[in-house]
Amino acid sequence: MRDIKHLQSNSAKLAQSNKEKALFRNQRKAVNAGANGTLEYTIKEGVNKAKIADSELIKNKK
């Protein structure tokens, strides 16, 4: 009898924690690409002036 109570309480705790994790995962929102103005940023100074900073230009910079 005692073992069954522990198993049932542990099972209930696990079910509750799994439910909370699933709800937390669903609350996440996708990030908007370029929302803060970084997606097609135009360089203002230097040899690459007036070029758009895309992935190719950034790779060559490193």
**Tens digit of each residue's pLDDT, the chain (62 residues):** 678 999 999 999 999 999 988 888 777 776 665 666 667 777 888 887 888 777 666 666 65
pTM for the whole structure? 0.41
Q: Are 34 and 42 in contact (CB under 8 A)?
A: no
DSSP-assigned letters across all residues of the chain: -HHHHHHHHHHHHHHHHHHHHHHHHHT--PPPTTTTS-TTEEP-SSTTTT-EE-HHHHHHH-
Read off the tokens for 1: 């009898």
pLDDT the model gives residue 12 = 95
pLDDT the model gives residue 11 = 95
Name the nearest CA neighbour of 42 among 33, 51, 55: 51
